[in-house]
Amino acid sequence: MFQEVKIKHRSLRDVLPPKQERVKLPPSPPAPPELSPAPSRRRRSKRWLWWSLGVALLLVLIYAVSFLFASVTVEVTPAQLDVAINDNFVATKSGGALNFDVVTLPAKVASREVKASGTEKVSRAASGPVIIYNNYSKDNQKLITSTRFQAKNGKIYRLRQPLIVPGMKMQGGKLVPGSIEATIYADQPGADYNQEATDFTIPGFKDDPRFSKFYARSKSALSGGLVGEVRKLSPEEADKARKALSADLTRELLLEARAKIPASFVLFDKLTLVDIKDVSDLNATTAGDSAVLKTSATFQGVMLPRQALTEALVQGRSGTFDPTQVTILNLEQLPITFADNQSGDLAEVKNLSLHLTSSLRLIPVINSLDLVAKLAGLKKLAASELLDQQKSIAKYRLVLRPIWLGNLPADPAKIEVKLPAY
């Protein structure tokens, strides 16, 4: 009834699909590098904001510092006015618009050794100053010409003119000797009588009570004694040397006088009186090939106050300048002279007539402090307009630091006015 069915057994190999041949594929390309994720737009905007704030703060800081250290220099060239003058004017000792004073210097001696070409034979007696004392009585004592004075070494010297020795006198409650100064001369010429300061007796009073009470004492050495040949200057040599010596001495006295006067006064070369005397002493002639010349000079000079003199000279000549606010360039070099021949003692003169022929260069006085006060805090344009309006200023230059400043500092200490040095 049932038909027998035969089932064929299969192996696993029979069930699996047939083996397929493997195909080699090309290698895969390398993976791209891993990138960071791009910042977000919000994060990027924050970063730019901080950068902007930093730059802004830096600019504000620079601007603030620049104003903190801001400064201005105003380089000013004053205006000038040249005027001619040929006029006399008067200076008075006191009470006038232009007063004067006198500077006086004591006698000054200068010497110079000059080479001499000539010679001469001399026979000179030594001499020197002494003080003669009367310690004998209150009565005066007359000494005649040729009265002898004996030095400790026995050398004799004489008076060349009579004199009277004053008697004793009361001084400080006690009696003191009377005295007088005189010059004594050696009894004989020659160098043997040259000696250092010493004491002298009066031989004429020997065996007389006055002998020990009358005496003399040298003030300095006795010198000048000489017998022999010495060098002698020719007249031409002497004249040339004296002129040079006088010029040097005058120049020295003028410099010395200028050093003594106040800065507010001026001393002019030609408003001086220099009395020069030749005091060459033959006793100073050397025995070598030179001779010594000596010159003595006294000095008096007229001092004039700078401001009053300036006002007197510019009066009516100052143009648009205020005569009280003007200076004269090189005032000290003006050739002001005496209008008349002047001699005698300047200290006794009450009025002086002076003369000046010259050209004056007038320069207005610029008050730097006042100008700075006006400029402080102004805009640059306003400052320029202010400077343009100043009649006393010929030209100027504003130097601002930093250069972008639009206003001048309000602090006057930060503004400097530079003026030329005259």
For 82-94, what is each residue's pLDDT tens digit?
Answer: 999 999 999 999 8
Give residue 18's pLDDT band: very low, low, confident or very high (50, 70, 90).
low
For 174-225, what is each residue's pLDDT tens digit?
Answer: 999 999 999 999 999 999 999 999 999 999 999 999 999 999 999 999 998 9
Average pLDDT, the chain: 86
Which of 182, 198, 229 is the C-terminal boundary of a domain?
Answer: 229
Do residues 122 and 226 touch, judged by C-beta distance below 8 A? yes
On whether both 291 and 340 belong to a single domain, the answer is yes
- Alpha-carbon distance of 413 to 344, in angstroms, equals 55
On whether both 196 and 236 belong to a single domain, the answer is no
- Alpha-carbon distance of 198 to 216, in angstroms, equals 9
Domain count, the chain: 3
Q: 261 or 8, which is more confident?
A: 261
Do the domain assignments include residue 234?
Answer: yes
Torsion, CA 379, CA 382, CA 388, CA 393, rounded to 10: -40
Do the domain assignments include residue 51?
Answer: no
Give residue 59's pLDDT band: very low, low, confident or very high (50, 70, 90).
low
Residue 174 falls in which region: left (phi positive, over 0), alpha (psi -120 to 50) or beta: beta
Do the domain assignments include residue 5?
Answer: no
On whether both 191 and 240 belong to a single domain, the answer is no
Which of 330, 354, 378 is the C-terminal boundary of a domain?
Answer: 354
Closest CA to 281 of 145, 146, 105, 109: 109
- Alpha-carbon distance of 184 to 159, in angstroms, equals 5
Statement: residue 374 has pLDDT above 80? yes
Name the helix (H) or strand (E) containing 296: strand 290-305
- Domain of residue 203 covers 125-229
Do the domain assignments include residue 35?
Answer: no
Do the domain assignments include residue 52?
Answer: no
Do the domain assignments include residue 196?
Answer: yes
Overall average pLDDT of the 364-379 stretch: 94
Q: What angle do CA 292, 183, 228 make, to 5 degrees?
A: 45
On whether both 224 and 237 belong to a single domain, the answer is no
On whether both 171 and 242 belong to a single domain, the answer is no
Do the domain assignments include residue 390?
Answer: yes
Measure CA 11 to chain center: 137
Task: State the pLDDT at residue 323.
Answer: 85
Query: Looking at the whole model, is its pTM more than 0.75?
Result: no
Measure CA 169 to chain center: 52
On whether both 285 and 349 belong to a single domain, the answer is yes
On whether both 193 and 251 belong to a single domain, the answer is no
E strands along 93-154, which residues?
101-115, 118-124, 127-134, 141-143, 148-151
For 97-154, what is each residue's pLDDT tens digit?
Answer: 899 999 999 999 988 888 877 778 889 999 999 999 999 999 999 999 999 999 999 9
Phi, psi of 236 (to 5 degrees): -65, -45
On whether both 242 and 348 belong to a single domain, the answer is yes
On whether both 251 and 343 belong to a single domain, the answer is yes
On whether both 206 and 349 belong to a single domain, the answer is no
On whether both 224 and 234 belong to a single domain, the answer is no
Do residues 292 and 357 touch, judged by C-beta distance below 8 A? no
Q: Which two tokens stand for residue 180?
A: 């007088």
On whether both 291 and 270 belong to a single domain, the answer is yes
Which of 229, 262, 280 is the C-terminal boundary of a domain?
Answer: 229
E strands along 135-249, which residues?
141-143, 148-151, 156-158, 163-165, 169-171, 174-176, 178-186, 199-201, 214-218, 226-232
Do the domain assignments include residue 25?
Answer: no
For 268-288, what is each residue's pLDDT tens digit?
Answer: 999 999 999 988 754 444 556
